[in-house]
């Protein structure tokens, strides 16, 4: 579960391993002082004075309590939780932080009552007191619980422990598509097609329930070690497919926004999600994004006006069918794209099944490829 910047804030790359904070590592006095300064509880001069006092033989707990104006028990809690960076949630033993996003962190944990591994998505402390952030967090948990699917991360609901707000998710062993891409190796055509087909299946399932995703991208899709493709984030999804965003308030990640969203006319239409999945397919095949720039404004302008460079696909020896899929999914005009997930799935499924019939490199070979990646 790693972290990835996203246009509207949120947590993605939710279940793949990333640099972690271990829960069993005791925090030293210098580390605690650095955290106190970082969180604005002390200034540098105060921290240096406290360190001098500790070196002179002072009792750290008493010195910290006096400097912070807290009881020693409160100082101990700050220390255990690393100034709130490591939540304490009754009934769970947090093991390590797996991902950090704009609104939430995700932790590997053990459910002490059920004796099983889980993932806990924890709303950032500064957002846990904001009604809008709380509503959005609860809405995501509700959507995940209400629409179970084999390609959608399972959720047991949201809860609160004191000031900590969290949702309980299934623990998935694996990594996100983005983490695989960050290794610098594009995906083989058959594998990329299978992934896109599985993502399209779950998005079709959600649309049938009136849900549009609005943030389809590699960082929100995970490859489990057993080969399962899992959509792991519904943070920007809307539960009414007729719902529109206000002009100029497009949701999502800039690099994957459709032209209509990039222009500020976001419509909550599944065809925008189809465009984003097309960008994802391009990224999987080529290893880079189709439109890049020095800042978000330049990328948005390219999404609206720049033509897709098909030579990027042609130069990789990809089949004409796959080139067609990318170009149709990424058509600038939404009316020229696939008009439904059902239509897209039928085309991609026929191509995947045709590859298997011809005994080409098939998606069934993917687990061995993942083993090579993990070396």
DSSP 50: H
Is 295 found in the same domain as 238?
A: yes
User: pLDDT band at 101, cuts 50/70/90?
Assistant: confident
- pLDDT digit string (tens) for 110-123? 999 999 999 999 99
Is 349 found in the same domain as 205?
A: yes
Question: In Å, how far from its chain's centre is CA 371?
Answer: 23
Which domain does 40 fall in, by range? 29-80
pLDDT at 309: 74
Is 248 found in the same domain as 341?
A: yes
Is 310 found in the same domain as 254?
A: yes
* 332 marked as binding residue: no
pLDDT at 3: 32
pLDDT at 314: 78
* Token pair of 309 as six digits: 């460079």
User: pLDDT band at 244, cuts 50/70/90?
Assistant: very low
pLDDT at 25: 65
- pLDDT digit string (tens) for 127-175? 988 999 999 999 999 999 999 999 999 999 999 998 899 999 999 999 9
* Token pair of 147 as six digits: 């629409």
- Residue 186, domain member (yes or no): yes
- Residue 19, domain member (yes or no): no
Q: State yes or no: pLDDT of 195 exceeds 90.
A: yes
* Token pair of 155 as six digits: 């959720």
Q: Domain end: 121, 136, 170, which one?
A: 170
Is 215 found in the same domain as 161?
A: no
Q: Is 215 a catalytic residue?
A: yes
pLDDT at 375: 38
* Token pair of 296 as six digits: 């978000």
Is 353 found in the same domain as 240?
A: yes
For the domain that residue 133 is a member of, what is the CATH number?
Answer: 3.30.200.20
Q: State yes or no: pLDDT of 352 exceeds 80.
A: yes
Question: Please, which contacts does 31-38 make with residues 24 or more away whose CB atoms are closer than 8 Å?
Answer: 32/64, 32/78, 32/79, 35/82, 35/83, 35/85, 36/68, 36/78, 36/83, 38/83
- Residue 7, domain member (yes or no): no
pTM, two decimals, is 0.79
Question: Which one is catalytic: 111, 156, 215, 347?
Answer: 215
- Residue 2, domain member (yes or no): no
């Amino acid at each position: 579960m790693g972290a990835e910047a996203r246009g509207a804030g949120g947590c993605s790359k939710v279940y793949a391993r990333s640099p972690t904070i271990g829960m069993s590592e005791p925090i030293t006095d210098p580390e605690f002082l650095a955290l106190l300064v970082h969180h604005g509880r002390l200034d540098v001069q105060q921290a240096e004075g406290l360190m001098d006092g500790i070196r002179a033989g002072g009792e750290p707990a008493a010195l910290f309590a006096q400097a912070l104006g807290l009881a020693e028990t409160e100082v101990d809690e700050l220390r255990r939780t690393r100034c709130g960076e490591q939540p304490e949630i009754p009934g769970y033993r947090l093991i390590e932080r797996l991902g950090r996003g704009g609104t939430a962190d995700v932790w590997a944990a053990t459910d002490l009552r059920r004796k099983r591994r889980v993932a806990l998505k924890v709303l950032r402390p500064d957002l846990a007191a904001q009604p809008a952030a709380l509503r959005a967090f609860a809405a995501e948990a509700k959507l995940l619980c209400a629409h179970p699917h084999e390609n959608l991360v399972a959720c047991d609901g949201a809860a609160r422990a004191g000031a900590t707000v969290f949702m309980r998710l299934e623990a998935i062993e694996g990594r996100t598509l983005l983490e695989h891409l960050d290794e610098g190796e594009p995906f083989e055509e058959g594998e990329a097609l299978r992934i896109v087909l599985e993502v399209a299946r779950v998005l079709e399932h959600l649309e049938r329930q009136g849900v549009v995703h609005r943030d389809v991208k590699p960082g929100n899709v995970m490859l489990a070690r057993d080969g399962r493709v899992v959509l792991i984030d519904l943070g920007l999804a809307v539960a009414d497919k007729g719902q529109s965003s206000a002009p100029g308030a497009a949701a999502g990640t800039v690099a994957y926004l459709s032209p209509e969203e990039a222009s500020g006319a976001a419509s909550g239409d599944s065809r925008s999600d189809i465009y984003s999945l097309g960008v994802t397919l391009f990224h999987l095949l080529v290893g880079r994004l189709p439109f890049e720039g020095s800042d978000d404004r330049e990328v948005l302008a390219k999404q609206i006006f720049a033509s897709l460079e098909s030579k990027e696909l042609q130069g990789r020896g990809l089949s004409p069918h796959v080139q067609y899929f990318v170009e149709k999914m990424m058509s600038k005009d939404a009316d020229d794209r696939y008009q439904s997930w059902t239509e897209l799935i039928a085309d991609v499924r026929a191509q995947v099944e045709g590859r298997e019939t011809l005994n080409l490199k098939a998606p069934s070979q993917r687990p061995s490829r993942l083993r090579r990646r993990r070396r």
